Amino acid sequence: MDSAKLTLRPSKQVIELAHRIAAEEQTSITQMFTAFILARGSQNMRKRIPIGPLTRSVSGILKVPDGWDYKSEIENILDEKYGIKQ
């Protein structure tokens, strides 16, 4: 990926915090900034995907109990159908 220079002017406290986090994560501030921007960009892409009319019409009709663990439910279904536990 081509790189270019970007100048930011955060406060000294933010700069110090960024240096500490980068040291703890064994990465650079540039890599942290890049990862943050890419993650935010992918979140925004998901938000822009339109929901189809069928999906919109059925959303909210299923009520699940508080604390329902869908991962556990999927595991049980897979085990029952295929004898597979993840």
User: For 46, left (φ over 0), alpha (ψ -120 to 50), or beta?
Assistant: alpha
Tell the residue number behind the tokens 């069928």, with chain if given: 54
Rounded Cα distance between 53 and 85, Å, is 34
Query: How far is the C-alpha of 84 from the C-alpha of 11, rounded, in Å?
Result: 53
pLDDT above 70 as % of the chain: 87
Give the confidence band of 12 by pLDDT, cuts at 50, 70, 90: very high
19: pLDDT strictly greater than 80: yes
Where in the chain are the domains? 9-51
Using the predicted structure, report yes or no on whether residue 51 has a pLDDT greater than 90: no
Q: Average pLDDT in the 30-41 region? A: 88
What is the reported pLDDT for 14?
93
Q: What is the pLDDT of residues 52-86, one digit of tens each?
A: 888 888 877 878 888 888 888 888 888 888 876 65
